[in-house]
Structure 1
Amino acid sequence: MNKADLIVALDVPNAEAMEAKLQELPDFIEWYKVGLELFCAEGPAVLEPLKKRGKKIFLDLKLHDIPQTVANAVKTAASHGVNLMTVHAIGGRAMLEHAAKAAAECEHPPKIVAVTTLTSLSADDFTDLGINRTVSEQAVKLGELAISSGIDGMVTSAHEAQALRDAFPDALLVTPGIRMPDGDVGDQKRVASPSFAVDQGATHLVIGRPIMHAEDPVAAATAMLEDMNK
């Protein structure tokens, strides 16, 4: 039994590219992430090939708007068979509560996770934004806000996952920025290996380029799962 779920990020420009990648990727992958680029290119129709394959869908649009608009978006996403989706914790308590309530009212309620801090941000970026907390302090503070508002969990770097797991034992912790120890970090500033993320308490690991751009995606995905389950 896996300690955490692997989510492969379909960071491709259009449905044609997605279909080509799905043909290459192994059947044992149960979860796929659809993000802004692909969803903006194709709209909800891009989810259909995943549903037909019986896959679970993580819709990562990082909703951040007035409460009612976010609530409506959550219900619409749920109607398209989304299993997991993101909101920005910094949207505030009312927005988070509306998102949680909207999800609970759906026939098939999606889980909602709140983004605490983007893994592309560093302490220097916090200074630019006028945030006086450390990255870890910000993650825990926004995590408290999200969980107390009815949200199911958080999106967080593996480096903040342990603090969140200690504070919120039952929360979902979705961790991007995953690389093998010898992998290219790309534009991520706070990366971690799969085994480290799981050890820190992550429940879902989001992995894109290391699998999607691999010469052998099946071998890459297998290596990631093996590292996750050390």
Structure 2
Amino acid sequence: MKNPLIIALDFSTKQEVQTFLNKFEHERLFVKVGMELFYKEGTSILSFLKEQEHQIFLDLKLHDIPNTVRQGMRSLASYGVDLVNVHALGGTQMMQAAIEGLDAGTPSGIKRPQCIAVTQLTSTSDAMLHNEQLVLQPMDNVVVHYASLAKKSGLDGVVCSTLEVPRIRTKLGDTFLTVTPGIRLETDSVDDQMRVATPIVAKENGSSAIVVGRSITRATNPLKVYKKMLAQWNEESVTS
């Protein structure tokens, strides 16, 4: 991925996004648009971000019957975003349908958006996995299994925590994307995340990209924190 640090735009309005992005001078960013922002602003926020030449991860986590996901992805493919996602729990037929929809909806001559599957949310603890989802396998086994299904279905990668990346790399290879949220600096609060890591640990474990939200968006100087996190990531690439 061109930019390994994806900033989660955890804002409600386009005005808030504009105010935030103005602090980044002329940086070309990779940003994540989630449900809160997309449901409020619709496709206009995507157009605005594309005009600013930012890469876009449209994080809507589709999870429905295969035909619905196929048609949904066909529509999303026309927006010109770079990355979209589904829930791996939807199964192989649904994930295959997502790729079919993206292929059908991407304009001729344009590269289709990459598609990754959410394995288990980084807010999910082992206790939640066992007691609420009634999944008795260890978290690592569940995530690697879902990742294997995603690759079998033709997806480009998965969303997982940094903890599961080494096993996914071993089983599925280096070209399969591992996008890892739950990234914090050593001094940050973990908030509602359970499986977190620093950029250095994420890079050491083999993450393809990291997703950072509140550590940057709530910072007094977001650009400074952004550059600090990139420096941590790039330091590992130099010394390894």
TM bucket (normalised to shorter chain) is over 0.9
User: Structure 1 residues 162 and 73 mapped into 2: Cα distance closer, same or farther (>3 Å)?
Assistant: same
Deviates more, 1:37-46 or 1:18-27: 18-27
Q: Distance in 2 between matches of 1:153 and 1:119?
A: 16
User: Structure 1 residues 3 and 103 mapped into 2: Cα distance closer, same or farther (>3 Å)?
Assistant: closer
Residues 4 and 202, structure 1, Cα contact 8 Å, conserved in 2: no
1:1-230 aligned at under 5 Å gives the runs: 5-105=4-104, 106-107=106-107, 108=110, 109-127=112-130, 128-169=132-173, 170-230=175-235
Secondary structure, aligned partner of 1:188: coil
Q: Which structure ranks higher in relative contact order (CA pairs < 8 Å, sequence separation ≥ 6)?
A: 1
Give the partner amino acid of 2:233: M
Query: Shift of the alpha carbon at 1:29?
Result: 4.2
Query: Shift of the alpha carbon at 1:20?
Result: 1.0
Report the number of matched residues: 229
Residues 4 and 228, structure 1, Cα contact 8 Å, conserved in 2: no
What runs of 5+ residues in structure 1 fail to find an aligned partner?
Answer: none
Q: Distance in 1 between matches of 2:25 and 2:87?
A: 31
Residues 3 and 30, structure 2, Cα contact 8 Å, conserved in 1: no
TM-score by length of 2: 0.92
Pairwise CA RMSD of aligned residues? 1.4
Residues 72 and 102, structure 1, Cα contact 8 Å, conserved in 2: yes
Provide the identity percentage.
Answer: 38
Q: Distance in 1 between matches of 2:159 and 2:9?
A: 17
What runs of 5+ residues in structure 2 fail to find an aligned partner?
Answer: 236-240
User: Structure 1 residues 110 and 3 mapped into 2: Cα distance closer, same or farther (>3 Å)?
Assistant: closer
Secondary structure, aligned partner of 2:42: helix
Give the partner amino acid of 2:44: A
Query: Shift of the alpha carbon at 1:141?
Result: 0.5
TM-score by length of 1: 0.96
Query: Shift of the alpha carbon at 1:211?
Result: 0.7
Query: Shift of the alpha carbon at 1:168?
Result: 1.3
Give the partner amino acid of 2:16: A
Q: Distance in 1 between matches of 2:170 and 2:27?
A: 31
Residues 30 and 55, structure 2, Cα contact 8 Å, conserved in 1: yes
